Amino acid sequence: MPDTEGRTVVPESSHLERHGYLFGHPIAHSMSPLLHQTVYDGLGLNWAQIPLDSLDMTLFLRLIQDPKFYGASVTMPHKVAILQHLDGLTPEGQTVGAVNTLFVRHDPETGKRLYMGTNTDVIGVRDAFYFNVKDPDSCVHRRPALIVGGGGAARSAVYALSKWMKATKIYLVNRDRKEVQAIIDECTSKGYGDGLIDVSTVEQAELLEGAGAIVACVPNVPVRTSEEAEARRVLECFLNKPHKGALLEMCYHPSPWTEITALGEKAGWQIILGTEAMIYQGLEQDRYWTGRGVEQLPVQKVHEAIAAEMRESRLCDVVM
């Protein structure tokens, strides 16, 4: 956290065997340190992820030189800016063009430390569906998918739905046509934009095949503008089509229960809360950092810890 003069204060880490960082701003509400601490405690590791609420890239690049550094969660506004400072990227990091995870490897010939980047947000979307939907073939596979929103989470959803979830086409529903076109152009240029369709009106939606998977990537705020109202009506049109699939709501703060989850539940869709995507992207990060498969991690303990934190947060909101 910054001190009274605006300088970043780096918490003490000498008592730890190894440490990582959560690097971004603002990060006060992030559950990432809790998630990873639950994993490390479950594995008996004297590790911790240290919150680094900062815009200072130079400071971060100096801190990661510590021999005890194992990796970092990288959040906004650094997901793209960090790319130029890395030694390599996984296919996910390269294709999505944004990194949320930094991990360390060593050159087999020289032993030089290499700082690598990947994007586990896409894994979070994928696994949120696959660990919650009992029969993907009948529910989401080989059907159109739908994404609500136009930001970074929407791009991650496009990648996951097109690469792994067998979507035949992907409908993009958003208030801003320019944002939709930007997604289409960017994803197409990177090789995973085939079958993206801008659905801008209810009349257009009525003529299209129903979706199997829906990913909502917008804040939970009341509809205000005419463009927002039309986008919401388009979504409701798809929700009310005969096939009922699974809806992943990426928003989970301050509550995972949003206006969109209420609409989906009322229409008969299976609801997957955004905490699921957050958990599975975090477990994928720990796979890189600890070298252990997700099946070797304390997955149930992580779910319990996050659920308890969400209950506590809601209670605090009510009290305040």
Residues 6+ apart with CB under 8 A from 58: none
Active site residue 244: no
CATH number for position 168:
3.40.50.720
Q: Among the options 79, 134, 166, 169, which is catalytic?
A: 79
- Residue 283 is assigned to a structural domain of this protein: no
At residue 136's C-alpha, the angle toward residues 126 and 146, to 5°, is 60
- Residue 235 is assigned to a structural domain of this protein: yes
Res. 316: pLDDT tops 60: no
Tell me: do 131 and 239 sit in the same domain: yes
Measured between alpha carbons, how far is 60 from 79 in angstroms, rounded to an integer? 13
Q: Give the pLDDT confidence score for residue 277 in this predicted structure.
A: 96
The answer to which of 6-10, 157-161, 192-196, 294-298 has the lowest mean pLDDT is 6-10
**Residue-wise pLDDT tens digits, 184-234:** 999 999 988 889 999 999 999 999 999 999 999 998 888 999 999 999 999
Measured between alpha carbons, how far is 31 from 36 in angstroms, rounded to an integer? 9
Q: What is the domain count for the chain?
A: 2
Q: In terms of Cα–Cα distance, which of 108, 115, 143, 106 is closest to 21?
A: 115
Tell me: do 144 and 113 sit in the same domain: no
Domain span holding position 36: 18-119
Strand-pair partners of 213: 145, 246
Tell me: do 113 and 128 sit in the same domain: no
Measured between alpha carbons, how far is 181 from 178 in angstroms, rounded to an integer? 5
Tell me: do 127 and 92 sit in the same domain: no
Measured between alpha carbons, how far is 189 from 184 in angstroms, rounded to an integer? 8
Measured between alpha carbons, how far is 103 from 31 in angstroms, rounded to an integer? 19
- Residue pair 109/261 in contact by the 8 Å Cβ criterion: no
Tell me: do 136 and 208 sit in the same domain: yes
> How confident is residue 312, by pLDDT bands cut at 50, 70 and 90?
confident
CATH number for position 93:
3.40.50.10860
Tell me: do 94 and 213 sit in the same domain: no
Tell me: do 60 and 175 sit in the same domain: no
Q: Give the pLDDT confidence score for residue 4 in this predicted structure.
A: 45
Q: Give the pLDDT confidence score for residue 319 in this predicted structure.
A: 41
Question: Is 223 in a helix, a strand, or coil?
Answer: coil
Burial bucket for residue 99 (CB in 10 Å: 0-12, 13-18, 19+): buried
**Residue-wise pLDDT tens digits, 227-279:** 999 999 999 999 999 999 999 999 988 788 899 999 999 999 999 999 999 99
Tell me the C-alpha to C-alpha distance, in Å, between residue 58 and each of 103, 129, 134. Answer: 18, 38, 46
In this prediction the pTM is 0.90
The first and second tokens of residue 67, run together, are: 């021999």
